[in-house]
Amino acid sequence: MSTRRFGGFGLVVAGALGGVLISLGITAAAQRGEPLPLKELQQFANVFAAIKGSYVEPVGDEQLINDAIKGMFSELDPHSTYLDAEAFKEMEAITQGGFGGLGIEIGSEDGMPKVIAPIEDTPAARAGILAGDLITHIDGKPTKGMSLNDAIKLMRGEPKTPIVLTIARQGRDKPLVVNIVRDLIKVRSVRSKMLDNNIAYVRIAQFQERTASDLVTQLNALGAKAPPKALILDLRNDPGGLLDSAIGVSSAFLKPDVLVVSTKGRVPSSNREYFAKPGDYMRGYLNGGSGSSDYLSNLAGWSKTVPMVVLVNVGSASASEIVAGALQDHKRAKVLGNRTFGKGSVQSVLPLSEDTGIKLTTARYYTPSGRSIQVTGVDPDIAVDDTAQGNLFRLPREVDLQRHLVNAAEAEEAATGKDSEAEEVEPKMFEFGGADDYQLKQAINLLEGRPVKKSDPSQVVKADKAAASAAQPNGKTPATEKKSPINPSNSKIERFRITPEGLIKAQ
């Protein structure tokens, strides 16, 4: 892959997305003053020759080298990896926003892929795939126990190729068999709409090359007739992406030239501060990306002053956490939802050839106040469950990943697991931004000065009763069953009101 093709990528912060070309001088700098370990390299060469010459079955040079490279990453953090030709191509496609596939946001439940939401106007949406569908088989292959990455690889493929999904849908006794033809999916990373009472809603699904410039277009359209009264930025289940885009999105809402994020690593070039100014969020555009003018120069001024809430959850990672952390530290917005994923590390991609490379963790990033979000994540200002019945998403956080980087400033918690032993009934899947989006409703309540609840106590009680009935044929709750006390009168409720100066906590 040529250097020019990497020009618009920018610096990557999400483990699963994208990459950036950085100079091979990093390698030289890291080794400066340290001689090559010739004895160990000779030992490696001896092992290579022994396997190639004496192993019971022939092994090709390319396979041996590739396996050796992968082995070097086996004890590094989980976001550092070798990118073979397939992974390298997929990385570029995702970062630039297009790939062959079905068009669904996907998560995992009970060891099987679960549809978070179909993307509008895609093969999945046209075939009738719904949020909450559990994918039990892909082309007849069971998905139980299959890793989410493997399931995604099976569902992706060349446009115009067929695929058969077997779906388990709540309320239906028999599985559904759905025939779909893959297509070129151009992921629309930014979506927006006007809610009631002149509140603007913007959702960012992932941070791609054009996310920040597309955000400007959407914000200007939202305020075409009149500036919105308030704004909700939805970053839930956004796994991250490009650092340039995260800085650009943050800059759309912050005052010019304020600090957005800083990075610190072993190599001097990894120690940087990034500000809300074109020189930092336009790097990808100026280095070969599409366009060269400052896209924020056309942004309406209301975006920097309108009262604002940022929605986050356990699936908000990396670039999402940079944006949420920056807006929170500068007190530009209230962060509402659940504690985020906790990925506070920066990955850089060094190409090894035209179509292979390595993705290497080179730095940690820090919010404007100097916080490291590694492992800890961003704590919301106002904690609100995914649904009225409790939390829906059971995604692992950074702390649950093996070999994760530690955060020296914080004591680590144990693996998260389920939030409560009493949660036996899975809350109903919902569409982000839809009519049944509980966290969105609470964000609106916050902006309009109404009470904000973490969950609906009556709905939690109803879920507990349903769990007890399901567990006991006679509908009685066993004496040994553990219950979380529910006391609606003690629910923590915070009240705010909108003023020209922003959100003011009601007394």
Alpha helices in 127-282 (DSSP H): 148-155, 211-222, 243-253, 278-281
Q: What residues have CB less than 8 Å from 458, skipping those under 6 apart?
A: 488
CA distances from 92 to 56, 204, 272, 318, 330 (A): 38, 19, 25, 18, 33
Residue 118, Cα to own-chain centre: how many angstroms?
A: 17
Select from 440, 410, 132, 133 the least CA-distant residue to 313. Answer: 440
What CA–CA distance (Å, rounded) separates 285 from 293?
A: 8
User: Which residue out of 80, 316, 334, 343 is catalytically annotated?
Assistant: 343
User: Which residue out of 77, 234, 329, 437 is catalytically annotated?
Assistant: 329
- Is 186 catalytic? The answer is no
- Is 329 catalytic? The answer is yes
Residues 267, 38: contact at Cβ < 8 Å? Answer: no
SS3 388: coil
Residues 348, 11: contact at Cβ < 8 Å? Answer: yes
Determine phi and psi for 79, rounding to 5 degrees.
-95, -5
- Is 318 catalytic? The answer is yes
Q: Sign (positive/negative) of CA torsion 352, 355, 361, 364?
A: positive
Select from 420, 330, 333, 321 the least CA-distant residue to 379. Answer: 321
User: Which residue out of 316, 318, 345, 348 is catalytically annotated?
Assistant: 318
What CA–CA distance (Å, rounded) separates 232 from 309?
A: 5
Residues 353, 24: contact at Cβ < 8 Å? Answer: no
Amino acid at 127: A
- For the annotated catalytic residues, the residue numbers are 318, 329, 343
